[in-house]
């Protein structure tokens, strides 16, 4: 017994989790924009109605400022910190010892556990900040879209935390595939509409054009913005794509850097995340940009879904993120505004375009992209569950698959690579999807 | 910024979680049997076949010894400790500041977060130990029953961790209500059968007697034991009721005691847990037994479901835990062996009897029992989600409801009670149940 206590004391038992104490958690967001090789290209305001004006109406003012922050570090308000702690920040970084053993790889694999957040995904970290600023401005109802539902769950939860109402437009096919996420939002008193819906004009039009339209993040964004414009006292929030979201998510990478240092890793070879709008990827990887700019060989890899392979097969062009023209035209890798992705279970990766930031990172060779089909991603998720005992979200399973590939390459090359991937969410509410894909 | 860092350093931000470091985690199970007011009554071995002999055939030998341990403290094997860490031990104790505020109570409410375990419930802690001993004896397949599925998920996961196979009989109504739990087990390569099934003789008989039989933990136990007897190299594991399970779960209470001390609490007024077989309750509360025996006024409260109100309305009598007569007759509070509980969503509370230990605790006045209906429990789960942001399992929501009642009583009496309840699991996979009960 004393022997075992000694082992626990000297960390000779399996040390898996690297966890920050509260006093070490980041209290500022990292402004990575000055570290980009070139500024983000300007947006085009070509709509029937000024998208800039729309944005100023529906978004809290300070969030617009945070799209292009002036300071290098941006203080996080104390109330936001407190709510982030309540939601599960800081999250652990775990060494994937069992996965390494299974793969017989000399690589050291770590994963950031955003699956431990209260709603089961990383989305909460920006939801808290956005709801806080909305409340500060006296807004009373939060309106947003959601794809697979992780973002919607987060908006629903923070609305309660700040005593606000919430209304969510959710891509119809995702809502039908993942009814539990809708149940969760409704338990929190949140209104949920399948998109396209008959609640908005643009929803009605989409249904007229394409009866049985499965919906997409693009259709849901359009409906949420139209509804926010029509709802006095509302704030429109974004779950991804826009700059202030990427900024808020830098907490992920800032934590990881400290945690890698706790684990005794001075270098990292590969950072891997799934990518759509890319806020999980950017929040995770952008804090490593200064090191990369200083010559550190860090391979940044984004894994998208073959259901919408914008970065690997799309066109770099001006297009909108929504289908109805409420958002500005942004220069981004896109499948085209009219592209309807197949109704895969990976609802979080179904955007028709990526964000300007992710697209720029790809164009400039900072970010490497791969596209992966659902079956192979889900198989990797199954390996992760069988070895590490952790069920990640279908989106995150894309990152797992790529990390496994890199670890196998390291085995062949007999190289002690350090691979860090992001478990952006948990997969408990996606078990129907896992079952459909793996067993049918 | 420096101010905020100072606040973080001095813990002036909301201190919510009390978490043990690895070196402080318990490395021994607590033998509470010597602290009981009287020994557990002997079992009766009246079956058509000796249940003692059955038990010796299907259960790992050391587990039978752990039903009546000789030492006061039982060393936990190092490999079990390592796997427990991987599964999420030690778990946090959280102060429910937001719930307190919502209730305007002077009471300090804490809850033990077994919802953070890898499978989403406390069941893993004994599953790891039982699988370890089964493997030590060269057994190759783990066979067990499950009610709501939390136990089955845990057996499925640990089978993978130890390189074993697994087979689970799950109460049919729970399987239909909670298909996600079945998907999870199958992802881990586990065989799952709805009970009653045609896989066993006793299953066939039950289906003949009662076509469309919804199943119960009792039917599933019978089938699992029969199947284990018929399967060479198998081990039969129990998720609750038996003494070695209660013993393994003492980790919960041992952790809580240390964590309350970290929180500066020298006394606790109320311990609250849901109860069926009672391993979550006993594991949580039995480590407090020495203090209670020394005169500390600790109110121990178990909350059962009105669907099977054994402790509040049942008879203290000899009866079996299974329906086919493979288990010994034990003296326990029971609704009768032929009682079929309504197919409520709270699958984990549907046993027709409680364990001998829980029943003895009630008889001796150590444990107080209340019965609660599903709707009121689920409403409490909703309050918990809205205030604390944590979705607990339907079973755990029974404990939440009772804790809320106690906190409201403390408000009326203006008393600074210390209330600790057990969040025995998370409710993500029970969202359909929550939705059905709360919205229909």
Q: What is the CATH number of the domain that holds B368?
A: 3.40.50.1100
Tell me, yes or no, whether A281 and A430 share the same domain: yes
Q: What pLDDT score was predicted for residue A371?
A: 97
* B430 plus B414 within the same structural domain: yes
Q: Do A27 and B5 touch (CB under 8 A)?
A: yes
CA angle, A150 as apex, A148 and A155 as ends, to 5°? Answer: 125
**For residue A2, pLDDT beyond 70:** no
Name the percent of chain B lying above pLDDT 70: 97
Task: Judge whether residue A440 has pLDDT over 80.
Answer: no
* Chain B residues within an 8 Å CB radius of A75: 1, 4
How many CA atoms does the CB half-sphere of B421 hold within 13 Å? 32
- Pick B317 or B174 by higher pLDDT: B317
Which of A210, A243, A276 finishes a domain?
Answer: A243
Residue contact B8–A28, C-beta within 8 A: no
Interval A364-380: pLDDT, tens: 999 999 999 999 999 99
How far does CA A119 lie from the centroid of its chain?
13
**Helix, strand, coil share of chain B (percent; to 5):** 45, 20, 35
Q: What percent of chain A has pLDDT over 90?
A: 85
Nearest to A26 by CA among A81, A94, A82, A97: A81
Distance from CA of B257 to the nearest CA of A (A): 18
Span of A147-151, A310-314, B330-334 with lowest mean pLDDT: A147-151
* Whether A27 and B1 lie within 8 Å, measured CB to CB: yes
Separation in Å, CA of A14 to nearest CA in chain B: 6
Q: Are residues A209 and A158 in the same domain?
A: yes
Q: Are residues B374 and B256 in the same domain?
A: yes
Asked if B304 and B388 sit in the same domain, the reply is yes
- The mean-pLDDT minimum among A12-26, A139-153, A190-204 falls in A12-26
Count of structural domains, chain B: 2
Chain B environment of A100 (Cβ under 8 Å) = none
State residue B339's pLDDT score. 86
Q: Which domain holds residue A413?
A: 82-121+249-435
pLDDT of residue A114: 98
Cα dihedral B305, B310, B313, B316 in deg (nearest 10) = -170
**Which pLDDT does position B223 carry in this prediction?**
97
Q: Is A386 on the interface with B (CB under 8 A)?
A: yes
Tell me whether residue A136 is in a domain.
yes
Chain A residues with beta carbon closer than 8 angstroms to that of B157: 389
Residue B118 near residue B132, CB atoms below 8 Å: no
State the nearest Cα–Cα gap between A41 and chain B, in angstroms.
32
Q: Does B164 reside within a domain?
A: yes
* Opening angle at CA A154, ends A152 and A155, nearest 5: 65
Q: Which residues of A touch B118 (CB under 8 A)?
A: 389-390
Nearest to A180 among B184, B382, B432 (CB): B432
The pLDDT of residue B182 is above 90:
yes
> Both tokens of residue A60?
């809290």
Any domain includes B7: no
pLDDT per residue as tens digits for the range B318-346: 998 888 889 999 999 999 888 878 878 88
Within-domain flag for B6 = no
- A120–B contact, CB cutoff 8 A: yes
**Interface mutation vs chain A, best among B3, B6, B11, B22, most A CBs within 10 Å:** B22
Q: Does A229 touch chain B (CB under 8 A)?
A: no
Q: Is residue B207 part of a domain?
A: yes
Q: Is the pLDDT score of A71 beyond 70?
A: yes
Q: Flag whether A227 is in a domain.
A: yes
Q: Which of B242, B270, B305 is the last residue of a domain?
A: B242
Residue A406 has pLDDT above 70, yes or no: yes
Q: Are residues B360 and B331 in the same domain?
A: yes
Q: Is A197 found in the same domain as A254?
A: no
A178 pLDDT higher than 90: no
Residue among A93, A150, A95, A160 nearest A125 (CA): A150
Interchain CB contact of B22 with A (< 8 Å):
yes
Residues of chain A with Cβ-Cβ distance to B432 below 8 Å are 179-180, 183
pLDDT of residue B187: 97
Interchain contact B14–A (C-beta under 8 A): yes
- From the list B25, B187, B389, which residue is nearest A434 (CB)? B187
Instruction: State pLDDT tens for residues A322-337.
Output: 888 899 999 999 999 8
B115 domain-assigned: yes
Burial class (CB in 10 A: 0-12, 13-18, 19+), A301: buried
**Pairwise CB contact (< 8 Å): B385 & A187:** yes
C-alpha to C-alpha distance for B421 and A89, rounded to whole angstroms: 23
Minimal Cα distance from A8: which residue of B? Answer: B23
Band (pLDDT 50/70/90 cuts) for residue A216 is confident
* pLDDT tens track for B194-251: 999 999 999 999 999 999 998 888 899 999 999 999 999 999 999 999 999 999 999 9
Mean pLDDT of chain A: 94
The answer to whether residues A185 and A161 touch, using CB atoms and an 8 Å cutoff, is no
Considering the domain architecture, whether residues A361 and A264 belong to the same structural domain is answered as: yes
Kindly state whether residues B48 and B93 are assigned to the same domain. Answer: no
Last residue of a domain, one of B188, B213, B242: B242
Same domain, residue pair A223 and A349: no
Task: Tell me if B303 sits within 8 A of B405, measured CB to CB.
Answer: no
Chain A interface test: which of B99, B111, B386 (most A C-beta within 10 Å): B386
What's the pLDDT band for B93 if we cut at 50, 70, 90?
A: very high
Residue A11 pLDDT exceeds 60: no
| Span B351-395, pLDDT tens digits | 889 999 999 999 999 999 999 999 999 999 999 999 999 999 999
Q: Which pLDDT score is estimated for A345?
A: 81
Residues within 8 A of B (CB atoms), A 412-431 only: 426, 428-429, 431
Same domain, B113 and B127: no
Task: Examine the domain organization and report whether B212 and B312 are in the same domain.
Answer: no
Q: Which residues of A touch B117 (CB under 8 A)?
A: none
What residues of B are in contact with residue A14 (Cβ under 8 Å)? 82, 85-86
Residue B1 lies inside a defined structural domain of this protein = no
| Residue B145, SS3 per DSSP | strand
A71–B contact, CB cutoff 8 A: no
Q: pTM score, two decimals?
A: 0.96
d(Cα A376, Cα A305) in Å, to the nearest integer?
11
3-state secondary structure of B302: strand
Contacts of B82 in chain A (CB under 8 A): 13-14
Cβ neighbourhood burial of B197 (10 Å; 0-12, 13-18, 19+): buried
């Amino acid at each position: 017994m004393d022997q075992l206590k000694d082992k626990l004391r000297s960390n000779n038992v399996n040390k898996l989790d690297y966890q920050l104490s509260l006093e070490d958690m980041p209290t500022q967001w990292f402004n990575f924009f000055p570290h980009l090789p070139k500024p983000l290209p300007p947006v085009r305001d070509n709509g029937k109605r000024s998208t800039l004006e729309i944005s100023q109406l529906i978004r809290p003012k300070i969030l617009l400022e945070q799209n292009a922050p002036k300071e290098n570090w941006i203080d996080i308000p104390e109330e936001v910190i407190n709510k982030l702690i309540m939601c599960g920040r800081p999250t652990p970084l775990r060494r994937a010892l069992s996965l390494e053993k299974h793969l017989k790889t000399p690589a050291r694999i770590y994963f950031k556990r955003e699956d431990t957040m209260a709603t089961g995904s990383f989305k909460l970290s920006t939801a808290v900040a956005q709801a806080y600023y909305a409340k500060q401005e006296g807004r009373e109802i939060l309106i947003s879209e959601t794809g697979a539902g992780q973002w919607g769950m987060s908006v629903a939860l923070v609305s309660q935390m700040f005593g606000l109402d919430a209304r969510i437009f959710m891509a119809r096919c995702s809502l039908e595939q993942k009814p539990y996420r809708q149940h969760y939002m409704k338990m929190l008193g949140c209104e949920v509409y399948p998109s396209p819906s008959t609640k908005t004009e643009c929803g009605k039009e989409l249904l007229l054009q394409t009866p049985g339209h499965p919906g997409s993040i693009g259709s849901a964004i359009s409906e949420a913005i139209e509804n926010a414009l029509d709802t006095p006292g509302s704030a429109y929030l974004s779950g991804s794509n826009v700059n202030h979201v990427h900024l808020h998510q830098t907490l992920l990478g800032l934590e990881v850097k400290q945690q890698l240092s706790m684990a005794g890793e001075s270098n990292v070879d590969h950072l891997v995340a799934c990518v759509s709008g890319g806020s999980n990827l950017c929040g995770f990887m952008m804090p490593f940009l200064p090191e990369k700019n200083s010559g550190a060989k860090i391979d940044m890899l984004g894994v998208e879904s073959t259901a919408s392979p914008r970065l690997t097969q799309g066109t770099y062009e001006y297009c909108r993120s929504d289908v109805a023209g409420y958002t500005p035209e942004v220069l981004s890798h896109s499948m085209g505004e009219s592209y309807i992705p197949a109704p895969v279970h990976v609802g979080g990766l179904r955007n028709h375009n990526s964000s300007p930031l992710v697209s720029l990172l790809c164009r400039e060779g900072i970010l490497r992209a791969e596209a992966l089909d659902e079956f192979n991603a889900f198989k990797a998720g199954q390996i992760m569950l069988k070895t590490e005992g952790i069920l990640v979200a279908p989106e995150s399973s894309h990152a797992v698959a790529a990390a496994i590939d890199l670890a196998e390459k390291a085995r062949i090359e007999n190289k002690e690579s350090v691979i860090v991937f992001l478990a952006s969410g948990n997969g408990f509410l996606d078990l129907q999807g896992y079952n459909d894909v793996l067993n049918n």
